[in-house]
Structure 1
Amino acid sequence: MIPTDPDAPALPQVSLVDVASYLPGDPVGTEYFTQFSRSDRMAKNVMFRSPRTRHHVHRDETAVDMVERAVAPLIERHGARFVSEIDVLITHTQLPTNPVLGCGPEVAKRLGARPAFVYDVHNGGCAAFVHMMSMARMVLQTTGARTALIAATQNCAGPVFRQPDIRKLAQAPVPGDGCGVGLLVKDDSAPILDIECRTYPEFAGDMEFSTNGDRKYWEPGEGQACVSFTESKVTKVFARGNRLVPEVALAVCDRIGVKGRDIDTFVTNQPNRLFLRNWHDALELPAERHPDTFDMCGNLFAAGIPVTLDVENRAGRLRNGSVVLMSAFAHAGDFAGAAAVRWGAAR
């Protein structure tokens, strides 16, 4: 946390006023993977126990398509005019369709928006929604911008984990695809109470994206690219995740003057069921105050927080005026973030 100047003028409030999401295609059952699975000691690891279903993006469905479909409910609720008034657009894409370009400008084109600030961010990983909230709030508080759209797209489950060699692996059934978006405005209607973002450079590089050989992923040849961990690294990542998510969450709680057990709703990323249980236990929260979409959607990476928020909001389970706390860690633990909001999103 960067220290603040007590003599600096108060910054304007920024609110998370709406969330929406999109899940591609029909649910994919675990039986799709069991027909290919092989005997693998890693399959017994709690990190890789699979959800009941997940969604997979279609081969020809791009990240831009997914963002456009996720934004559609916002347009229904706020009218088409709100898109033309977006000043800040921030996107995170797990698997960029074009590895050279981010999708931000194309999203703006597709939506008919002309934002003054367009950013594509990659380092936030599973905590990218909180990371983008922090960035958007900073821009809104320090410039004349008044509205921001943030979009987290997870689109690697279908393309990567259905590859013939990869779908046999223990981790293949765990990820799912989806997209979640948030609308932020410069007002105090549903204020962001506090945000904490921390980078841990010492853990960078512990998650690899490799072809299980010497070939670089962009070079021709054999070998299918996938995120990989050794068994020893899985153990280390599990220990880090258990610590980092409650650590940043409780730092936010401390600054807004509440105990973890008094939070109304706790929403995190959702790598597996054991992390979810350990995290709400660390905050002394009952499971019902820590909703997730894991069994329906699998590990949605960065999209997990906004998709779960949208599901809970549409179901009427997020009470206006309640405190909603979000927290997540990224990759092998090189980034973690938490944010608390006074809930007031549209439905």
Structure 2
Amino acid sequence: MTATVSLLDVSTYLPGEPISAEYYAQFAESDELRENVMFRAPRYRHHVGPDETAIDMIERATAGLIERHGADTVLGADVLITHTQMPDVPFYGGGGGTAHRLGMKPNWVVDLHNGGCAAFLLGLKLARNLLASGEGHTALIAVAQNAAGQIFDQETIRRKAQSAIPGDGAAVGLVTLSDASPILDVECRTYGEYAGDMTVTSDPPRKWWQPGTGEGYIGFTESKITKVLARGNRQVPEVSYAVCDRIGVRPKDIDLLVTNQPNRLFLRNWRDALELPAERHVDTFDDCGNLFAAGIPVNLDRAIDDGRVKAGDTVLMAAFAHAGDFAGAAAVRWGGRG
């Protein structure tokens, strides 16, 4: 690529007041998976409001970009890439509605779903390629995680161990043709053989779209959890090392690691695999829970606000998705929030 493309900024939104672990403790029932490391609850998380849509969340997350870069930067973006964990309407994503709400008329509107928890990284790769190939000057990457307050807080599901882990949030990344904060490299890998390993189930069983009395939840078993742990422990370091090798930086010399945050075990194992101390790995799990695709940009935004990343630092972002069917990593030389 001849053109340099930068991740210029990120802006985020967390809905409502923090919800404590005690909220779920009052509903907890006997669950054979409750002691599993996958389901050790964070102290807090946020839930989307009862009438709050994914587009509402993205609009609120965009406010910071408008404040810092002006409304024309958002309105004039040539590319809009969106990902919603749970689309408000099953048959289509939120790209068109988001563009309309923000007053945009982009040449490209792309909804991503296969990226899952790594969707922000997939969006970075797509935006980088589109802008570098001449398809525009500016792109927005908008992600919304809205399943915690809608799926996991259902009356019969909130009793399960899995329900205390997710939190809701949204984020928007601003990508432009510039050398201010260059995207150094992006690695995305699809593991299609694992695509069917994450399932939605209910009691009594039915297809997700069929009417019935049982509320839907993720079909975890001990066997599936063991496989997911093994895949996540392997995939995130693999894509991270691939990016670091190409940009000529040893993983242990990365200034800041930003990952998705399924649970504390993954966070510890990933930084150990990359030989990084905890202070160079952003961890908001106890404040936000598992934010799915919003985890990376929310964590990056938090690190910027807290002064943990400064101009010239190399930031490595990495994540895996679902039961391990997708993984990605990206490196950015942060230029500062100008």
For normalisation by structure 2, the TM-score amounts to: 0.98
CA distance in 1, matches of 2:335, 2:216: 42
Q: Report the equivalent of 1:327.
A: 318
Q: Is the 8 A contact 1:208 1:227 kept in 2?
A: yes
1:304 and 2:295 are equivalent in the alignment: yes
Residue 192, structure 1, aligned to residue 187, structure 2: no
Hey, what's the Cα distance between the residues in 2 that align with 1:87 and 1:309?
24
Aligned to 2:107: 116
| Residues 56 and 177 in structure 1, CA contact (< 8 A), matched pair in contact too | yes
Q: State the distance in 2 between where 1:245 and 1:69 align.
A: 30
Deviations 1:264-307 (A, max 9, x none): 00000000001000000000000000012110000000000000
Kept after mapping to 2: 8 A contact 1:19/1:345: no
**CA deviation after TM superposition for structure 1 residue 85, in Å:** 1.3
2:329 is matched with 338
Q: Does structure 2 retain, via aligned residues, the 8 Å contact 1:16–1:345?
A: no
Q: Distance in 1 between matches of 2:29 and 2:135?
A: 57
The aligned amino acid for 1:219 is Q
1:254 aligns with 2:242: no
Match of residue 182 from structure 1: 173
Give the counterpart letter for 2:261 in structure 1.
Answer: Q
Question: What code does the residue aligned with 2:200 have?
Answer: F
Tell me, yes or no, if the aligned pair for 2:80 and 2:109 is still in contact at 8 Å: yes
Matches within 5 A, 1:193-232: 193-232=184-223
Measure how far apart 1:345 and its partner are: 4.2
Is the contact made by 1:162 and 1:172 (CA closer than 8 Å) also made in structure 2? yes
Mapped pair 1:89 → 2:80: yes
CA distance in 2, matches of 1:218, 1:39: 28
In 2, the alpha carbon distance for the partners of 1:183 and 1:292 equals: 22
The residue identity in structure 1 corresponding to 2:14 is: L
The alpha-carbon deviation at position 220 of structure 1 amounts to 1.6
Q: CA deviation at 1:316?
A: 1.7
Unaligned runs of 5+ in 2: none
Residue 68 (structure 1) aligns with? 59
Superposed, 1:143-154 pairs within 5 Å as: 143-154=134-145
Query: Hey, what's the Cα distance between the residues in 2 that align with 1:283 and 1:318?
Result: 18
Where structure 1 has 5 or more consecutive residues not aligned to the other structure, the ranges are: 1-9
Match 1:240 to one of 221, 231, 234: 231
How many residues align? The count is 338
Q: Select the residue among 14, 26, 41 that pairs with 2:32.
A: 41
1-side partners of 2:336 and 2:32: how far apart?
A: 44
Distance in 2 of aligned mates of 1:110 and 1:296: 29
| Structure 1 residue 167 corresponds to structure 2 residue 158 | yes
How far 1:79 sits from its partner (Å)? 1.1
**Structure 1 residues 45-75: Cα deviation after superposition (integer angstroms, max 9, x where no partner):** 1011000000000110000000000000100
Q: Aligned residue for 2:286? A: 295
The Cα of 1:83 is off from its aligned counterpart by: 1.6
Q: Distance in 2 between matches of 1:218 and 1:236?
A: 27
- Among the aligned pairs, what percent are the same residue? 62
**Cα distance, 1:17–1:345 mapped onto 2, change above 3 Å:** farther
RMSD: 1.0
Determine the C-alpha separation between the residues in 2 that align with 1:140 and 1:62: 29
**Match of residue 5, structure 2, among 14, 22, 35:** 14
Q: 2:146 aligns with which of 146, 155, 163?
A: 155
Shift of 1:212: 3.8
- Give the SS at the match of 1:160: coil
Deviations 1:129-163 (A, max 9, x none): 10100011111111240000001110000001111
Is the 8 Å Cα contact of residues 310 and 336 (structure 2) preserved in structure 1? Answer: no
Taking the aligned partners of 1:221 and 1:135, their CA distance within structure 2 comes to 39
What amino acid maps onto 1:277 in structure 2? R
**Secondary structure in 1 matching 2:328:** strand
TM normalised by structure 1 equals 0.96
Contact map agreement 1:56 1:176 (CA 8 A) in 2: yes
Q: Which whole-Å CA distance do the structure 1 matches of 2:185 and 2:204 have between them?
A: 44
Separation in 2, partners of 1:11, 1:223: 54
Paired amino acid for 1:257: G
In structure 2, what residue type is equivalent to 1:50? A
When structure 1 is superposed on structure 2, of 60-69 and 74-83 the one drifting more is: 74-83
